A and B are shown apart, each in its own frame.
Chain A
């Protein structure tokens, strides 16, 4: 079966740097195959812009198979576009119709300043991990694999929370720009495993406070983050984060 050809109209956010006000620019890309990925369509746009001697649209991508969490576009008002449980790189042009207008914006949050066009600075998430998203390590000889027993159910749940790729779609989707889903996924992942227990209380305290300090908002329990998450992490993790936090507060 041969692929269908289509033409799409784009409204793309262009912004020179952090301090530029930014604006939308209209482009039309012709001869798009519906088997192309969304990012390949943007590549095509950039080739066209290059040929015309104009500046390309800056956007981020790396693995292009949904595991690195680098790609980040809000497409028609939805982080990572209309498909659920997938990142922008896993979005295909068959999701759109010939002649569609597609609005492309960067992640928007105070804690995610725009670097250029669709590229935002997500290092705030890294700093949340830096203050507590790790386990203590033993010095000395390497322990045997599987020497610490973990109940099967906990291992499964911890894995669900560990699936976070740190893309920031939760922050982008949240009306308050909250990083609660991101932070709570890491806290839940580690609080479910024995390796995470020694630093349990300091971890949640430091990570929650860093989240506030970075300028991320608070959680109003709407759950837009869960729907936008390419790894479908549940907001039950946010309740776990709160329980861990109160537990730490009471014991402090």
Chain B
């Protein structure tokens, strides 16, 4: 594709939308997997975690792809935010939305802030759980067939006995909800998939999905803290 297309702002937004939707797909499967934490005896979650880990090369390929999408999304997002600031160097002394169908609000105005917070959170989160203590640190459990594997469930449960950790994760997930509230609609619009007759539906469905994902994630640490 020629440079005049790739270097344009419309193309950058296309990349944001496409990578954003791919990351959304990951977030949905991540929540579905995490729902296994509601089963108290831990084997279902550990089974799932170890099945993923045993995929070997396939898992590495998926992880590299995910990391590439994530970095590209974050990098382009930061660049676009800087470009936006440059295009509007002086803000109004008074600014008021004219309402109507405008999506002006907390979520849409702070995509770079919620996005940066998520970037930081994901780094901490991966260090926290993926590279957390394993078999060598004594977190061992036996699967249904008797093989000994990493007891990730125990690590997760122990971590969420710390109220600070619960608060951190709940706040991060509220940030995710905010980012997706505007992000899902925005991705569809940036990809040119909205039309006069479906844009309201897409916006509402995106908002609902954002709320379901955020609440679905943030209930897990609360459940583990109070009821486990």
B60 at the interface (CB under 8 A from A): no
Q: Check A208 against B10 for contact (C-beta < 8 Å).
A: yes
A178 at the interface (CB under 8 A from B): yes
Interface residues of chain A, those whose CB is within 8 Å of chain B, are: 11, 24, 74, 76-79, 82, 84, 103, 105, 108-111, 173-178, 205, 208-209, 211-212, 215-224, 226-228, 234-236, 238-243, 245-246, 248-249, 252
Contacts A78-B97, A219-B190, A221-B108 supplied; 13 other A-B pairs, CB < 8 Å: A79-B98, A108-B88, A108-B92, A110-B86, A176-B84, A176-B87, A218-B87, A222-B102, A223-B100, A227-B99, A239-B192, A246-B14, A252-B1
B2 at the interface (CB under 8 A from A): yes
Q: Check A224 against B111 for contact (C-beta < 8 Å).
A: no
Q: Check B92 against A239 for contact (C-beta < 8 Å).
A: no
Q: When A242-B14, A245-B5 are in contact, do A220 and B111 touch as well, CB less than 8 Å? A: yes
Enumerate 7 A-B pairs (CB-CB under 8 Å) in ascending A order: A77-B93, A176-B87, A217-B83, A220-B111, A227-B104, A235-B199, A252-B5
B185 at the interface (CB under 8 A from A): yes
B193 at the interface (CB under 8 A from A): yes
Q: Which residue from chain B places its CB closest to the CB of A243 in the assembled complex?
A: B192
User: Chain A contacts of B109 at CB under 8 A?
Assistant: 175, 222
Give the CA-CA distance A174 to B88 in the complex, in Å. 9
Give the CA-CA distance A109 to B86 in the complex, in Å. 9
Q: Check B108 against A217 for contact (C-beta < 8 Å).
A: no
Q: Which residue from chain B places its CB closest to the CB of A176 in the assembled complex?
A: B84
Q: Check B194 against A209 for contact (C-beta < 8 Å).
A: no
Q: Check A217 against B94 for contact (C-beta < 8 Å).
A: no
Partner of A249, one of B1, B12, B98, B191: B1
B193 to chain A, nearest CB (A): 7
Give the CA-CA distance A234 to B194 in the complex, in Å. 12
Q: Check A218 against B194 for contact (C-beta < 8 Å).
A: no
Chain B 160-196 near chain A by CB (<8 Å), digits 1 or 0: 0000000000000000000000100110011111111
Q: Check B108 against A220 for contact (C-beta < 8 Å).
A: yes
A230 to chain B, nearest CB (A): 11
Partner of B88, one of A76, A109, A226: A109
Chain B 76-111 near chain A by CB (<8 Å), digits 1 or 0: 000010011011111111111111111110001101
Q: When A205-B4, A252-B1 are in contact, do A77 and B95 touch as well, CB less than 8 Å? A: yes
Q: Check A246 against B92 for contact (C-beta < 8 Å).
A: no
Q: Check B104 against A223 for contact (C-beta < 8 Å).
A: yes
Q: Check B2 against A252 for contact (C-beta < 8 Å).
A: yes
Q: Which residue from chain B places its CB closest to the CB of A157 in the assembled complex?
A: B196
Give the CA-CA distance A76 to B103 in the complex, in Å. 20
Counting from the closest, the 10 A-B pairs by CB-CB distance are A217-B87, A242-B192, A77-B94, A218-B9, A77-B96, A176-B84, A227-B98, A243-B192, A227-B100, A177-B87
Give the CA-CA distance A80 to B98 in the complex, in Å. 10
User: Chain A contacts of B190 at CB under 8 A?
Assistant: 219, 221, 242
B150 at the interface (CB under 8 A from A): no
B13 at the interface (CB under 8 A from A): yes
B11 at the interface (CB under 8 A from A): yes
A95 to chain B, nearest CB (A): 13
User: Chain B contacts of A108 at CB under 8 A?
Assistant: 88, 90-92
Q: Check B9 against A103 for contact (C-beta < 8 Å).
A: no
Partner of A219, one of B4, B13, B94, B98: B13
A102 to chain B, nearest CB (A): 10
Q: Check B4 against A77 for contact (C-beta < 8 Å).
A: no
Q: Check B192 against A76 for contact (C-beta < 8 Å).
A: no
User: Chain B contacts of A228 at CB under 8 A?
Assistant: 98
Q: Determine which residue in B13, B94, B98, B109 has the highest number of CB atoms from chain A within 10 A of its CB, and name it.
A: B98
B29 at the interface (CB under 8 A from A): no
A112 to chain B, nearest CB (A): 10
Q: When A77-B92, A249-B5 are in contact, do A220 and B84 touch as well, CB less than 8 Å? A: yes
Q: Check A103 against B102 for contact (C-beta < 8 Å).
A: no
Q: When A218-B80, A239-B194, A242-B191 are in contact, do A175 and B100 touch as well, CB less than 8 Å? A: no
